[in-house]
Each structure stands twice: as C-alpha cells, then as structure tokens.
Amino acid sequence: MKTSPLIAAAAVVLLVGARAQRSRHQRSLHPAGRSFTGRLEIWGVPAPTGSDLLDKPGDYPVTVRVSKGLGSRGSRPDVLGLAIRIPGRDTDLLLSTAGTGRLTRHLPMPRRRFDAHYGTITAYRTGTDRKIYLAAAPLRSAPPLGGTLDTVTAAALTGRAQLVLFADDQPFGTVSFGPLLPPSTDADLAFDPIRNSTADLHPTGTIHGSRALAYRLSQRWRRRPGPGPA
C-alpha cells in the first residue's frame, strides 16, 4: 500500500519536531498546558447527525486540557488547544484555535486568548456517513478564560468557566472546567482522537494519518504508555 505524499511529508516534519523535544521528555505537541476535571452536558442537536454522543441528551464527567501548541510564554500568540476526554465513551476530542469561514476553518490560527473559537480543523464522520465539524466558543455568561494558563486556572476556580460546543453551526452542549489536576496527572495524559473514537463519530481525511503518527511519536518519546484512560 503506497504512502500518501501528504502523509509522508507531514511525518518528516513531525519527526524533526519530536526529535527536537526528545531530550526534554515532554510532549512534542502542545507541551505547555493545564488539565482539569470537568463536566460535559449535552442537550442534543435539533437535527440528528448520526452520532449517539451528539444526538442524545447526556451528562458526562470528563477531563479537560487547555494548551499552547508551541509552548510560548505568557499571552504571546500561539495555536491554542482544547482537549476533552470522555472516559465512559472511550472518546478523545481535540480542537485547536482556527478560523470560522468555510476555508479558514481548516487552518490553525494563533490566538492570544483562550476564550476564542476552536475547531477540529478537519471533519468527523458519523454513523450515517455524514461529515461534520466540531467547534467550541466562549459562552457570554461565563467568566473570561484570559490570555494565559494562569488566567484559565483562575477562571476555573470560580466554578463557572465553560465553553459552548457546536456540530457544524448547531450548538449541542457545554463543557465546564472543574478543579485543576496535579501537574503529574497532566504530564501522564496521552490524548489520541484517532484511536480513541467510536464508529459513529470518528475523524476522517488524509491529514489524520499524519496526526495519528504524531501522537504515537510524541507518546513514545515521552516514555509514556499508549492511549487509554488517564
């Protein structure tokens, strides 16, 4: 089976980046971050998508991680990340700050603040073979997350920090930030949206081949176990 040129090129870039991080024994992807307990509340989308998670009301304990893609200091611009682990469903959702237009939603966008628009960059495929894009955005009634990891932690301490979630343009739920997890727990977390997904909601597209390789390289060189419950 031939390797896609796009995957091969991406793998080379990711390999070089991971090598640069190897001596630090930390994530090569989104190294600077904070992890929290959290709550995922889903009320369901008005028009069914074909995903059990998105279509049916539910309330799930989750792990939430916010991060900086390059690990830049303070509130310097960076591609910011939002990761949500749903243990009871063996699902990891990973989103990055991205554009909001039909074309720009495919592009990671550096941002200064964590109360920004996040997207999955590429589509998810549901059980009805429909392609959808997942996104998250600030909730006006919630305290601002601010521009640093410390301000996100301060917002979480209020007990009211949350983001609203979308499937395409349909809001379907919220994710709330709970207490901060210890640094050791954050260091041990290994998110993988490719392998930790379900048959009715899984990433699709060529780019996900390179992403899967990136996660495996990052986990291997951190000397951590593969994906699984935190």
Structural domain boundaries in the chain: 5-221
Question: Does residue 197 have a pLDDT over 90?
Answer: yes
Q: Report phi then psi at 52, rounded to 5.
A: -60, -40
Question: Does residue 43 have a pLDDT over 90?
Answer: yes
d(CA 43, CA 60): 12
What are the pLDDT digits (tens) for 127-145? 999 999 999 999 989 999 9
Q: What is the DSSP string of 163-196?
A: EEEEETTEEEEEEEEEEEPPHHHHHH----TTTS
For the domain spanning 5-221, the CATH number is: 2.40.180.10
pTM for the model stands at 0.79
